[in-house]
Amino acid sequence: MSVKDKKPVKKKILEKHHISLTINGYIYELDVGGSPGQIEPSHTLAHTLRETLGLTGTKVSCDSGACGACTVLIDEKAVLSCMTLTIECDKKRITTIEGLKDRATGGLDPLQQAFIDHTAFQCGFCTPGIIMSAKALLAKKSSPSEEEVREALSGNFCRCISHYQVINAIMSLSKKTGQEK
């Protein structure tokens, strides 16, 4: 075959890839790539929430999945957002601490109010992750035992407070929920 017989090779133009996330009830269409304004395939959900979308309630502390500060809900399950790639979340429902407020009134979620009522925080840095872990537990089981609460929070670490106040806050809500049913 001579050079003149060769057909030119068509360069395959990469299609624009994007993902769709529902975060706190709002749909976000995010382009995936390496250009400005795009999320990179290596970005974690924590990075995307904080740096791209400005949802800074999700905290990053250890950045290795050991502390639980970055916990968010994905389809109502507690997930460490620092260990989850954003691209893995396509078509998922994500809830952050910002998404717990009542949309109509702007009021706090009863779990957030219970933390205030029981002084279940000090500096507050790890509180969003703890609340999100507790929220996942309460979504699964409305009246958990104290042991189940302790197990659900076993991946959340706080250096400021005693976890007794946290457990009391969650159990107070658990008791209220249990009485309503």
Map out the domains of the chain as residue ranges: 16-99, 110-180
CA–CA distance, 52 with 55 (Å, rounded to integer): 8
Domain 16-99 carries which CATH code? 3.10.20.30
Residues 6+ apart with CB under 8 A from 150: 163, 167
Q: 3-state DSSP call for residue 170?
A: helix
φ, ψ for residue 161, nearest 5 deg: -120, 170
State pTM to two decimals: 0.85
Q: 3-state DSSP call for residue 125?
A: coil
* Range 110-180: architecture per CATH: Orthogonal Bundle (1.10)
Q: Tens digits of per-residue pLDDT, 95-145?
A: 999 999 999 999 999 999 999 999 998 899 999 999 999 999 999 999 999
Q: Tens digits of per-residue pLDDT, 23-68?
A: 999 999 999 999 988 999 999 999 999 999 999 999 999 999 999 9
